[in-house]
Chains A and B, each alone.
Chain A
């Protein structure tokens, strides 16, 4: 089987979605661990130390390129799949009782992903871009903690962040366990553990993220 054959097949495409999804999930672990540094209650010293490490360490900066690549692949592949899946049913049902057989969020990954992308545009254009500007203009040390506190004084920003985190929650709730099914892992003993871990992960990560704007206001 050629690479082209694999990556254009339906299973290959879902494999790419699952693999990049798990990769992005691994990044969320790092992200929310560093966010948790605000719980030291030291005026943001520990948080800023780690923010500084993340923006200055060369290994992290190389990994960052991989992260964006993974995100872009996940987005493009997702859009391709949405298009193909829509085309597979040109005439829609006039009556379709979808709630009888599946969860709404499992059917709404495209929509949830789009909301997440809109949130990411807002999020990256603030924090990521500002740390980069600080890095290259030599405007150091950059106080990310103060910047965050100030940013979250605006009510619309808080609302946008909470909406983004809620989208992330539902996206993860399906995506986490779904990725394992795609990798071929479906087992009487392990699947319930994977599902429970996915739910716990979605709750913990999203609560930690939601606490950032909530505690800053």
Chain B
């Protein structure tokens, strides 16, 4: 890959806090290397803004290696930018060319209120996990990892579902701001394994109830979530959650 330098125009959403109205600010950025990551480009811009005595742009980030799910940016109309199966931190500037204008917005959903600029509050996801995204285990000595036999296919499917990093790109992308892909991945990874069996029914009922309470929209099967998910979580998980929900609804009596 050939290395090149570029000058860009950034249109970034600036918003003081969740109660104020935000607006776009335009920033010119110079001498950006094609080998920088998208967040490194923001670091360069922020250092410049700090030197100039201006307010730097607030954005979320932690691991910068595509596994923590913190970096949430809607770049040129796509969650995590133009590359597929990719997080914002793993998006590199070679995706752009000299002279480009890049529009960056925060995730937009009533369940994800903006904290500041590009940072959104995703604790709604935490509350959904608290509602049922766990298993009960006995304390004491750690059990041997392979003590319980698990079907290879189930183990693979559970692993694929567990790849979800909870970044919220599914909600951000969905035209209805539905959280079905996230919740279904979390329900699936535990429903597929014997360790998840004791809470299997209460889990899906409680997690869906919490999801609805948080004000996420309803799934209409556009599958935009699957297309934009950085971890390639499949919508077959949503079908599985629908099955789990119907089954649990039929068998619980309270």
- Complex contact A85–B177 (CB within 8 A): yes
CB distance from A80 to the nearest CB of B (A): 9
B24 in the interface (beta carbon within 8 A): yes
Contact segment of B25-33, B50-58, B131-139, B216-224:
B216-224
B228 in the interface (beta carbon within 8 A): yes
- Complex contact B240–A81 (CB within 8 A): no
- Complex contact A91–B218 (CB within 8 A): no
Contacts of B240 in A (CB 8 A): 184, 186
- Complex contact A10–B212 (CB within 8 A): yes
- Complex contact A94–B105 (CB within 8 A): yes
Which listed residue (A11, A92, A95) contacts B242, Cβ 8 A? A11
A103 in the interface (beta carbon within 8 A): yes
Q: A10-B180, A91-B108, A174-B221 are in contact. Are A184 and B76 (CB under 8 A)?
A: no
**Which residues of chain A from 79 to 100 have a CB within 8 Å of any chain B CB?**
81, 84-85, 87-98, 100
Measured CB to CB, the nearest residue on chain A to B104 is A95
- Complex contact A94–B103 (CB within 8 A): yes
- Complex contact B239–A84 (CB within 8 A): no
Contacts of B24 in A (CB 8 A): 94
- Complex contact A101–B103 (CB within 8 A): no
Of the listed residues A6, A88, A90, the one surrounded by the most CB atoms of chain B closer than 10 A to its CB is A88
Contact segment of A128-136, A140-148, A164-172, A175-183:
A175-183
Count B-side interface residues using an 8 Å CB cutoff.
Answer: 48
- Complex contact B235–A89 (CB within 8 A): no
Count A-side interface residues using an 8 Å CB cutoff.
Answer: 41
B199-215 CB mask vs A (1 if < 8 Å, else 0) is: 00000010011011001
Contact segment of B64-72, B85-93, B140-148, B246-254:
B246-254
CB distance from A59 to the nearest CB of B (A): 30
- Complex contact A93–B177 (CB within 8 A): no
A102 CA to B225 CA in the complex, in Å?
9
**Which residues of chain B from 157 to 215 have a CB within 8 Å of any chain A CB?**
173, 175-178, 180, 205, 208-209, 211-212, 215
A1 in the interface (beta carbon within 8 A): yes
- Complex contact A87–B110 (CB within 8 A): yes
B100-113 CB mask vs A (1 if < 8 Å, else 0) is: 00010100111100
A154 in the interface (beta carbon within 8 A): no
Which listed residue (A89, A101, A187) contacts B177, Cβ 8 A? A89
- Complex contact A88–B105 (CB within 8 A): no
- Complex contact A95–B103 (CB within 8 A): yes
Which listed residue (B111, B218, B223, B249) contacts A14, Cβ 8 A? B218
- Complex contact B221–A178 (CB within 8 A): yes
- Complex contact B248–A184 (CB within 8 A): no
Q: A90-B110, A95-B105 are in contact. Are A14 and B239 (CB under 8 A)?
A: no
Q: A10-B180, A97-B78, A102-B224 are in contact. Are A85 and B175 (CB under 8 A)?
A: yes
CB distance from B82 to the nearest CB of A (A): 8
Q: A10-B208, A183-B242 are in contact. Are A100 and B108 (CB under 8 A)?
A: no
A115-127 CB mask vs B (1 if < 8 Å, else 0) is: 0000000000000
B77 in the interface (beta carbon within 8 A): yes
B→A interface (CB under 8 Å)? 24, 74, 76-78, 103, 105, 108-111, 173, 175-178, 180, 205, 208-209, 211-212, 215-224, 227-228, 235-236, 238-243, 245-246, 248-249, 252, 254
The contact sample of 15 A-B pairs, CB cut-off 8 A, is A1-B205, A1-B254, A5-B209, A8-B212, A14-B220, A14-B242, A85-B217, A85-B218, A88-B109, A94-B105, A95-B74, A102-B222, A103-B222, A178-B221, A182-B242
Given contacts A98-B77, A98-B224, 9 further A-B contacts (CB under 8 A): A11-B208, A88-B111, A88-B216, A89-B177, A95-B77, A100-B227, A101-B173, A181-B238, A181-B239
A→B interface (CB under 8 Å)? 1, 5-6, 8-11, 13-15, 81, 84-85, 87-98, 100-103, 106-107, 109, 174, 178, 181-187
